[in-house]
A and B are shown apart, each in its own frame.
Chain A
Amino acid sequence: MIRELNYTQAILEGTDQCMTENPAVYIMGLGVTDPKGIFGTTLGLKEKHGEKRVLDMPVAENGMTGIAIGSALTGMRPILTHQRIDFMLLSFDQIINNAAKWHYMFGGKMKIPLVIRLLVGRGWGQGPQHSQSLQAIFAHIPGLKVVMPTTPYDAKGLLVSAIRDDNPVIYIEHRWLHGIFGPVPEETYEVPIGKAKLVREGNDITIVSLSYMTLEAIKAAELLEKEGIHAEIIDLRSVKPIDENTIMTSVAKTGRLIVVDGTWKSLGVPSEIITLVTEKIFDSLKSAPKRITFPDFPTPTSPALAQHYYPRAIHIINAARKTMGLEEKTEEQMGITQNNPLDVPDQSFKGPF
């Protein structure tokens, strides 16, 4: 039997093992030592590794990021956590002006091994300031690496790689992935940054997706399969650097491409991937690539609006059908029934966080 952990347990185990392996690793963030321990991802670390290396902090994101960077100059390897991406926006200055450029602008003399763990919120009225997913902004900045694991296996492996990496790595978790279970080896292992994962093979269409939206893509692919459409799914995992090879190989085979990203449409990761494909293997395309994203609007709070905001499997299915020259179908026609209200991942998810 392969051992299974959920996503938060995988992160906790990866953090714990890296802290044991290297005394330079420390973790800091609002609520890291509180009874909830960042949704369970930091529980017990203080007891095991001590309060010097496992600490809460003032509500001062920009300053504390600079402080983490400064400590990295002395050889420490900080992990910073934020319970929402929205909160870390205060630290853009330190991340973009300092962390991303320090190695370069001083001629490679110093390095900033910093991991910033960020959560994307969704549902239960998280609204405009608690649900932003800003991978494209980070990926735009030279000097940062950006990862978005989907499975518990990748959550642990990418975290280990991020902590061992000598550069600033932005590590983005989706709140709706935290409860997902999957096989996770007990030993410490790395999932390489910059390598996508082929989740499912198929000849008809390539679906590249990220983070939580990969689960919707898988659902869509299973339903498409029933109709005889064989979708290949690539879970991007790393937004920066992007694994061009895996994408090109797949699109060269299928000739069709959909990119699914749980954030705004304009100037995003899908735009980049589609550009790369059209620049490099334009001739293999049998139809125009498509993006499935949120509309270019802030997240509305009311569930009545949010349900139209977040795309789901049916939208991927219809994009795929359109690229294949087929007509759209309804959820009913595809046999999709919604057992949960659309603003929660499952029945147990009630209330604020």
Chain B
Amino acid sequence: MNSALKKKMYFDMLRIRIIEEKIAQRYSEWEMRCPVHLSIGQEAIACGVCANLNQQDYVMSTHRAHAHYLAKGGSLKKMMAEIYGKATGCSMGKGGSMHIVDLDAGFLGSTPIVGGVIPIATGVGFGITLKEEKQICVVFIGDASTEEGVFSESLNFAALKKLPVLFVCENNFFSVYSPLSVRQPKDRDNVAIAKAYGIYADKGDGNDILDIYKITRKAILQIQKGNGPAYLEFDTYRWREHCGPNFDNHIGYRTEDEYLSWRKRCPIENFENQLKEEGILTTVEIDKMNTEIESEIEQAFIFAKNSKFPDATELYSHLYA
């Protein structure tokens, strides 16, 4: 893998991290008046997967979508404006953080009903096949959504019709405060489940972007050969509370120690050290990246805050096409 790509992937992760941290930091100004589900700690999966995609490829996601949207090239300004409820937002203020979209970037939308987007993404794959086009559709999901019926229904149909769909499960071990242990039998193995449908499946370390990149590369090659869908699962950890800007390790559903052990496995820090050791990245370059990102974010926040709220009449627009 060339060093330019490695640098780009590092930059992408860093950028998402700083954006999410900034949202967390400014949330208490109470101007972002909608629920936010931050991706801090989970950035590698979005970036490692999307580094394999073209602009024409599609991505869909869930309530925790900022990283996927940004990694696919979604407009930061429009996302921030959406979170601020402004008319210039990517969904014109109708959706908020949980419903973001950027068609120019191939990001077809995110929705917070768990599992709801899985069959939709499968249907996008079906559409691509019917139209005999070449793209693939990637759908990012959480571990909980594999419990919904539509997960099985979608895998079945995607396999039946050999659809160009890549299912990417980010396993962060929790559904809100509920650990896997109260939701799934101990030995449940989604990779084996996908394989039982005849689907190419693999898993990897969700905090190791190179691992993610390579595993995804192989899966996409399978899809591009016409072998049908692929299922990938990556283990990772959400650092902050399920919904909102704070840390919540004290409330009792997980331990501070567990959090700290994952904190040590920070996907960005570790990759940074690796790239420094390889001589690919210098402290000066990192500083430059930080400055560039900070200024972009500053601009995006200014844009969002200065934008107008939608006019009251917008309440009545867009019901029917």
A63-B85 in contact given A124-B33, A305-B310, A308-B315 (Cβ < 8 Å) = no
Nearest CB of chain A from residue B224's CB, rounded to whole Å: 32
Interface residues on B, range: 35 or more
Interface residue? A335 (CB, 8 A): no
Q: Select from chain A the residue with minimum beta-carbon distance to B31.
A: A303
Give 4 closest A-B pairs by Cβ, nearest first. Answer: A125-B34, A302-B85, A304-B309, A302-B93
Interface residue? A107 (CB, 8 A): no
Interface residue? A178 (CB, 8 A): no
A30-B175 in contact given A129-B112, A301-B34, A305-B310 (Cβ < 8 Å) = yes
CA distance A301 to B111 in the complex (A): 13
A300-B315 in contact given A57-B183, A127-B99 (Cβ < 8 Å) = yes
A304-B98 in contact given A90-B148, A124-B33, A309-B315 (Cβ < 8 Å) = no
CA distance A304 to B95 in the complex (A): 12
Q: Select from chain B the residue with minimum beta-carbon distance to A37.
A: B177
- Contact count A vs B, C-beta below 8 Å: 138
Q: Which of A295-344 contact B (CB under 8 A)?
A: 295-298, 300-305, 308-309, 341, 343
Contact: A302 with B244, CB < 8 Å?
A: no
Contact sample, A vs B, 19 pairs, CB 8 Å cutoff: A30-B178, A56-B178, A59-B175, A86-B113, A124-B33, A125-B33, A126-B35, A127-B34, A127-B95, A130-B35, A300-B94, A301-B94, A301-B98, A301-B99, A302-B94, A304-B310, A343-B33, A351-B27, A352-B35
Contact with A along B24-66 (1 / 0, CB 8 A): 0001001001111000000000000000000000000000000
Q: Which of B73-101 contact A (CB under 8 A)?
A: 85-86, 89, 91, 93-99
B residues with CB within 8 A of A: 27, 30, 33-36, 85-86, 89, 91, 93-99, 111-115, 144-145, 147-149, 175-178, 182-184, 243-244, 251-253, 309-310, 312, 314-316, 319
Residues of A within 8 A of B86 (CB): 302
Contact: B310 with A35, CB < 8 Å?
A: no
Interface residue? A62 (CB, 8 A): yes
Contact: A301 with B93, CB < 8 Å?
A: yes
Contact: B316 with A295, CB < 8 Å?
A: yes
CA distance A308 to B85 in the complex (A): 14
Contact: A305 with B244, CB < 8 Å?
A: no
From the candidates A86, A296, A305, name the one contacting B93 in the complex (CB within 8 A).
A305
Residues of A within 8 A of B96 (CB): 125, 127, 301-302
CA distance A248 to B2 in the complex (A): 79
Contact: B93 with A351, CB < 8 Å?
A: no
Contact: B113 with A352, CB < 8 Å?
A: no
Contact: B94 with A87, CB < 8 Å?
A: no
